[in-house]
Structure 1
Amino acid sequence: MQTKNPYRWWNLIAFIATIAVNYLANALPLGGRNTREISDQFYIYMTPASYAFTIWSVIYVLLAGFIIYQLRSSTGSRDSVLDIGPWFIISSALNIAWLFLWHHLYIEWSVLVMLLLLASLFIIHRKTRILRPTIGEALLIKLPFSLYLGWICAASLVNIGTLIYKNEWSPFGLSQLGWSIALLCIGALLVIAISFPTRDWVLPLVFVWALIAIAVEHREEDVLMVTAFGLAAAIFLYAVYLFIFRRHRSS
């Protein structure tokens, strides 16, 4: 007898709520500020070019695929779906909470919630690392959460950078350029640490996307641009290595 997923309808509700709040965040907007106005208010060297945020559309389309996949009776009872448990609902609640905090400029609390979101997606990521997935599992379970986690890794850095900028801190006496470069390097190490144990080559490519967008946005700042492009090249080669390694291991 197949075990039904007790969270499948809650997952659907959580996903719809997340999409709705994301839409209202700019349509209302929440806190009387849209995303662009907040970005302009806290414009830092970590801020990526605006086109980078189009990745959210890809993430949400793939997550919609996951929701449909886990609702179907033929696939919703798979271990790959059941293992996620309540963590997708938790991640959705944290996503929504972050939007409210961010748009009301509670930056300190938004960083805490962002880190909790990062942690919840890390747990989901580990639970969805299926060794020999079906095509459906690869495209609708593994891929969505690789992209989601990869982007939240980058978003967490921007959030932390905004906190430092807002409070006019100078960590270790570094200038804004200095601590921005330090955060990019820390982010690159974080992505490697998360992706290497599971040989996930998709996740680092998302960070490459973010790094290139940062380099493009700040191309007039030579040191930052060179650093961002250099890290992007290194992480891209690392992703290629993981891809080849996985193919070699499975052959």
Structure 2
Amino acid sequence: MKTISTRVKSWINLIAFVITLIVNYLTASGFINGMSQKAVSNKYNTLITPAGFAFSIWGLIYLLIGISLVYMLLKNKETKVKILINIITPIFLFNCLFNILWNISFSYEKIGISTIFIFLMLINLILINKKLYDYRKEIEYRLTSVAFGIYGGWITIASSVNILAFLISINWDGFGISQTIWAPIILLITIIISTLVNMKLNNAVYLLPIAWAIFGIIMKMNNGDNQTIYGPYIMPLGIIGIGILVVLSIIQFKKNNYCVIKK
């Protein structure tokens, strides 16, 4: 049976990515189900949902992934790029599928189902980043490690927000505990788990999107009387969390000999 060439795989990856972008645009604009992603997010707003400006990171993520895919297409005959394409392709196609299904289910306010898909995205991205690290000596990894490192970090914090949105959607009472208590607990758990995960990924940019999201949470808190709504714990936890995540990223960058992942 004839194997698929790396050139064909590169085209498949790029086409899948473009389809994903189109679905993202349709859901963000409210074309699907008449509600934009922002409207759904506001309806199920949580105490760890960042301010709107923080979501601009999607533009950076998709730009870097797009450039990475075009690079793979143009350089598909080079040995290290060939290996990269063969490693990335099957996992990345599933990522596009999970991304599309998450967008559609979230737009239709199927928050529980969307939580499943975003966790599948997270597992998928952790796997991609682990592959990039494990095969780093055999592949051209520099651009893709930045793109998928940022992507993975952002989906990590987005998964936590999605969990809280789901709990709000089912009117969970928190076992009698206020959201001002369990929201920072989930944020703390996210910081701890992401730090532990990155001990395996060794990616210097993975933790930065989480710090960026927390910054967005703090800025949202500073809007008017929001501090009384958020309670006394998120602000200090957020400030300490940002400091820890940034310092750990700098340490990882130095450990990697000033590269995103170690050569």
Q: Same fold (TM over 0.5)?
A: yes
CA 85–192 in structure 1, closer or farther in 2 if over 3 Å, else same = same
Tell me the CA shift for residue 216 of structure 1. Answer: 1.2
Could you say which residue in structure 2 is the equivalent of 1:89?
A: 93
Distance 1:210 1:26 in 2: 19
**Preserved CA contact (<8 Å) 1:216 1:225:** no
Could you say which residue in structure 2 is the equivalent of 1:150?
A: 153
For residue 118 of structure 1, the aligned residue among 115, 122, 125 is 122
What letter is aligned with 2:162? Answer: N
1:165 aligns to 2:168 (yes or no): yes
1:29 aligns to 2:31 (yes or no): yes
Distance 1:26 1:242 in 2: 35
Name the % identity.
26
CA 115–226 in structure 1, closer or farther in 2 if over 3 Å, else same = same
Q: Secondary structure at the match of 2:141?
A: helix
- How high is the TM-score relative to the length of structure 1? 0.90
Q: Which runs of 4+ in 1 moved over 6 A?
A: 248-251
Distance 1:194 1:101 in 2: 27
Cα offsets for 1:67-120 (capped at 9, x unmatched):
112212334843222212311110001100011100000011000111111111
What letter is aligned with 1:128? Answer: L
For residue 190 of structure 1, the aligned residue among 190, 193, 218 is 193
CA 234–124 in structure 1, closer or farther in 2 if over 3 Å, else same = same
Tell me the CA shift for residue 192 of structure 1. Answer: 0.8
Could you say which residue in structure 2 is the equivalent of 1:80?
A: 84
**Preserved CA contact (<8 Å) 1:153 1:191:** yes
The number of residues matched between the two structures is 247
Unmatched 5+ stretches in structure 2: none
CA 193–172 in structure 1, closer or farther in 2 if over 3 Å, else same = farther
Unmatched 5+ stretches in structure 1: none
Tell me the CA shift for residue 242 of structure 1. Answer: 1.3
Cα offsets for 1:127-157 (capped at 9, x unmatched):
11254588x6312x11110011000001101
Distance 1:64 1:119 in 2: 21
- How high is the TM-score relative to the length of structure 2? 0.87
Distance 1:108 1:248 in 2: 40
What is the RMSD of the two structures over their aligned residues, measured on CA atoms? 2.2
Could you say which residue in structure 1 is the equivalent of 2:205?
A: 202
Could you say which residue in structure 1 is the equivalent of 2:233?
A: 223
**Preserved CA contact (<8 Å) 2:13 2:69:** yes
Deviates more, 1:52-61 or 1:168-177: 168-177
